[in-house]
Structure 1
């Protein structure tokens, strides 16, 4: 929904929905920039013939509280194409994200080397050091004193 927060992008989206955007205007540099964001957000798709279609599916998905691609609904804004685009600044939101990541990337009955932790975290974001550090600080991963191994803590 944040893709529609920009008034210019919202006008462009409305014109696409109403079928009032001529193809030549859609190819202008200003429109291409805004279209890229609408397409990336899943609000618009370019068809094989070059025309544009506004897909209502994105609104149907937004209404449901179901996870999208396994990501809890309230965290999907931090992901694009299965990758984490930003680490949340707010500690409570960051903690919820880290809980999701540790639950999906690590097994509780296994010990991981730092390299294995980095490889798992790299599947979602390139700043593995920050994610690893936040997971340790939040108590979601326990690091051995010598830094050699990590594990998911056993909760009673």
Structure 2
């Protein structure tokens, strides 16, 4: 079953006559009395719009009924895409969780290193902390992970951090 186009449903909801007939269907009531109360031209237009919305079907006798699963299909089709790979652990640039899997953790940290520093760039501890703050509130933790994973080097006195050209 293809998902109904939500714009057609919104168009139905924008019309008082169409909305009223749809309301009868949603409440499990017979929509025929509401349809019969409409002028013939409006009745034809209302039936056509409801059927075009793909939320309503007509049986062999022409009686209107809600299309089974239409709303569920519409919601599923409009659901946001789920992040994949290391993006599961980020919200934009921010790290929301460090992966338990070592390979994924390395990939995430590698991406942070690439986004935070250019190859060969040297930064003071203060400067690297400013950059890493965009990724996580615990800059010392991220900095330590980057050093431990060999993605950046720290000078022996801890004053300078460098991203090697090979990283």
TM normalised by structure 2 equals 0.50
2:105 is equivalent to residue 56 of structure 1: no
Deviations 1:17-51 (A, max 9, x none): 9xxxxxxxxxxxxxxxxxxxxxxxxxxxxxxxxxx
Instruction: Please report how far the alpha carbon of residue 81 of structure 1 lies from its aligned counterpart in structure 2 after TM superposition.
Output: 4.5
Q: Which runs of 4+ in 1 moved over 4 A?
A: none
Greater shift after overlay, 139-148 or 84-93? Answer: 84-93
Alignment of 1:59-78 (within 5 A): 59=81, 62=82, 73-78=84-89
Alignment of 1:136-147 (within 5 A): 136-147=147-158
Match of 2:24 in 1: none
Secondary structure in 1 matching 2:151 = coil
Q: Does the Cα contact within 8 Å between 2:95 and 2:136 map onto a contact in 1? A: yes
Instruction: Please report how far the alpha carbon of residue 120 of structure 1 lies from its aligned counterpart in structure 2 after TM superposition.
Output: 0.8
Match of 1:152 in 2: 163
Q: CA RMSD in A?
A: 2.5
2:113 to 102, 107, 121: 102
- CA distance in 2 between partners of 1:92 and 1:81 (Å): 20
Q: 1:81 to 1:101 in 2, by over 3 A?
A: closer
- CA distance in 1 between partners of 2:92 and 2:103 (Å): 24
Instruction: Please report how far the alpha carbon of residue 89 of structure 1 lies from its aligned counterpart in structure 2 after TM superposition.
Output: 2.3
Instruction: Please report how far the alpha carbon of residue 117 of structure 1 lies from its aligned counterpart in structure 2 after TM superposition.
Output: 1.0
TM normalised by structure 1 equals 0.53
- Between the two structures, name the one with larger relative contact order (CA 8 Å, sep ≥ 6): 2
Instruction: Please report how far the alpha carbon of residue 57 of structure 1 lies from its aligned counterpart in structure 2 after TM superposition.
Output: 5.4
Instruction: Please report how far the alpha carbon of residue 82 of structure 1 lies from its aligned counterpart in structure 2 after TM superposition.
Output: 3.6
Question: Mind listing any 5+ residue stretches in structure 1 that lack a counterpart?
Answer: 1-16, 18-52, 63-67
Q: Does the Cα contact within 8 Å between 2:120 and 2:164 map onto a contact in 1? A: no
